[in-house]
């Protein structure tokens, strides 16, 4: 599975996936269905530490920003711990930021129990921004209203963050 993942051989990976328990490469390849089967049978695999490399599946996100955010959401929903550290002392959030996966890193930050306003319930995932919700995105088509929706959502998120910051500073 590792070679299939490393060389982006998705056809080979698809053949191997039903027999694989390699949660790190399955995560890297975005193979949610197989991961779901594994996590349903053994939930602790969402936080399995790679014996040689010392990281959990949250460190093995796909390289594409959107796919990485989707996989981070999936893993967090299945109980992945965003506070663990790898063998280099990095959290998954910090590693994702270093890879340029900013949206995935933001999701991990929001999922941490100590995050301002974050729920402490296991599997807490913040609501995705409006422009990331599938029902608002039409694949292969441009939507003239989408830019306005995105801009409005970003403004609203900034306003909420400013309000929260103001409240925490006044306490």
Question: Could you tell me the residue ranges of all domains in the chain?
Answer: 2-123, 127-171
For position 6, what pLDDT does the model report? 78
Share of the chain above pLDDT 70, in %: 65
Opening angle at CA 71, ends 12 and 7, nearest 5: 30
Least confident segment among 27-31, 146-150, 151-155: 146-150
E strands, the chain, are none
**Distance between alpha carbon 34 and the CA centroid of its chain, in Å?**
17
For position 111, what pLDDT does the model report? 83
Residue 121 has pLDDT above 60, yes or no: no
Residue 115 has pLDDT above 70, yes or no: no
For position 169, what pLDDT does the model report? 67
| Inter-residue contact 129 to 153 (CB < 8 Å) | yes
Look at the domain 2-123 and name its fold.
1.25.40
Q: How confident is the model at residue 116 (pLDDT cuts 50, 70, 90)?
A: very low
* Alpha carbon distance 40, 36 (integer Å): 6
Residue 3 has pLDDT above 90, yes or no: no
* Alpha carbon distance 25, 89 (integer Å): 21
């Amino acid at each position: 599975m590792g070679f299939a993942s490393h060389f982006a051989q998705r056809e080979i990976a698809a053949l191997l996936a039903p027999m694989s328990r390699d949660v790190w490469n399955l995560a890297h390849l975005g193979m949610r269905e197989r991961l779901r089967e594994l996590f349903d049978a053994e939930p602790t695999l969402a936080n399995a530490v790679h014996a040689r490399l010392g990281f959990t599946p949250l460190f093995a996100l796909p390289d594409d920003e959107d796919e990485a955010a989707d996989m981070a959401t999936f893993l967090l929903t299945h109980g992945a711990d965003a506070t663990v550290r790898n063998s280099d002392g990095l959290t998954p959030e910090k590693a994702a930021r270093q890879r340029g996966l900013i949206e995935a890193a933001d999701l991990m930050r929001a999922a941490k129990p100590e995050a301002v306003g974050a729920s402490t319930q296991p599997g807490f995932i913040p609501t995705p921004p409006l422009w990331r919700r599938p029902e608002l995105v039409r694949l292969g088509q441009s939507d003239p209203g989408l830019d306005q929706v995105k801009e409005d959502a970003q403004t609203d998120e900034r306003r909420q963050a400013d309000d929260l910051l103001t409240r925490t500073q006044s306490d």
